Amino acid sequence: MDTPRSFLTSVFLVLFYIQQRGALRSHTKMVKAVAVLSSNEGVSGTVFFSQEGDGPTTVTGNLSGLKAGLHGFHVHALGDTTNGCMSTGKRPHFNPAGKEHGAPEDENRHAGDLGNVTVGDDGCASFSITDKQIPLTGPNSIIGRAVVVHADPDDLGKGGHELSKSTGNAGGRVACGIIGLQG
């Protein structure tokens, strides 16, 4: 009587298959990227990006050579630095949904609007940001785009200046780097 053995083998194989599919689904791929920032003004830094599966992207970094205070921090549409940071886009912030400029927590904002980084009296900043609108994979990936640090604070679209709703009135571009995949 081989039927019970065949039945048990079949049940075992089905359970094994279900278990393996679940294990594959729970194993998500970690994607990492990096941007090395520089400028003619002595500003430098490194920004790291990581995203697990379809989760939010974590952005961490260290900057130096900046004046103390707040500085606008954005992902710009173009990963072109042939003319310094000005080449990163005329309508600069990465904005695949065609929205207005805003704060990182706003629903109506450019995907690349990451707010401000805080620089200490020593001219240095360390930061960590988690954001759902800047994926490292898919059609709206930020890979190949640029990250830019601005001279002034980003008013988060609430400053009332003519540039508030487009750039956050964050001033000139003092450092930038192209976002590239990291091994």
**Tell me, what's the pLDDT at 2?**
58
Task: Calculate the alpha carbon distances from 7 to 12, 21, 85, 98, 176 in Å.
Answer: 9, 21, 67, 58, 64
Strand partners, 181: 33
Burial category of 103 from C-beta neighbours within 10 Å (exposed 0-12, middle 13-18, buried 19 and up) = middle
**Tell me, what's the pLDDT at 162?**
83
**Tell me, what's the pLDDT at 20?**
58
Closest Cα partner for 50 from 62, 35, 32? 32
Burial category of 143 from C-beta neighbours within 10 Å (exposed 0-12, middle 13-18, buried 19 and up) = middle
Dist CA 51 CA 58 (whole Å): 6
Complete domains list, the chain, with CATH = 30-181 (2.60.40.200)
**Tell me, what's the pLDDT at 19?**
60
**Tell me, what's the pLDDT at 138?**
95
**Tell me, what's the pLDDT at 4?**
61
**Tell me, what's the pLDDT at 103?**
86
Active-site positions read 74, 76, 93, 101, 110, 113, 150, 173
Low-confidence ranges of the chain (pLDDT < 70): 1-27
Global pTM reads: 0.82
Cβ neighbours of 43 (radius 10 Å) = 23
**Tell me, what's the pLDDT at 113?**
94
